[in-house]
C-alpha cells in the first residue's frame, strides 16, 4: 500500500481530530510526527510537521471528506 500525505499539521492534536473523523467514515489513516518533535522544531524550519497520510487509493475521497470536515468546523 502506497501512502500519500493528505495534510501537514503543526500539532499532533490537529492531525488526530481529522484522523478520527476519516476513520469513523471508513478511511484508514496514519499519523507521522509527534508533539515533542514539533516543540523542538518550532525554531527549525526543516521540520516536516505532523503528517496525516492515507492510502493512495483513498486520497480523493479523503480530500473531499476533509473539505466537509473543515466546512463543518467554521
Go through the chain and tell me how many residues it has.
74
What pLDDT is recorded for position 35?
53
Q: Rounded CA gap, 54 and 71, in Å?
A: 20
Which is higher by pLDDT, 67 or 39? 67
pLDDT of the residue at 73: 66
Q: Domains (ranges, CATH) in the chain?
A: 3-73 (3.30.70)
Asked if residues 23 and 62 have their Cβ atoms less than 8 Å apart, the reply is: no
| pLDDT 10s digits, 12-61 | 999 999 999 999 999 999 999 865 554 555 544 445 789 999 999 999 99
For residue 18, give the C-alpha cell.
481529522
> 50 forms bridges with which residues in the sheet?
9
DSSP 1-30: --EEEEEEESSHHHHHHHHHHHHHTT--EE
Which pTM was predicted? 0.78
Amino acid at each position: 500500500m502506497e501512502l500519500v500525505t493528505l495534510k501537514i499539521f503543526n500539532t499532533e492534536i490537529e492531525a488526530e481530530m481529522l484522523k478520527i473523523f476519516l476513520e469513523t467514515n471508513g478511511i484508514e489513516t496514519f499519523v507521522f510526527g509527534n508533539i515533542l518533535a514539533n516543540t523542538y522544531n518550532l525554531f527549525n524550519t526543516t521540520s516536516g510537521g505532523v503528517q496525516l497520510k492515507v492510502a493512495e487509493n483513498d486520497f480523493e475521497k479523503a480530500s473531499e471528506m476533509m473539505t466537509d470536515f473543515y466546512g463543518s468546523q467554521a
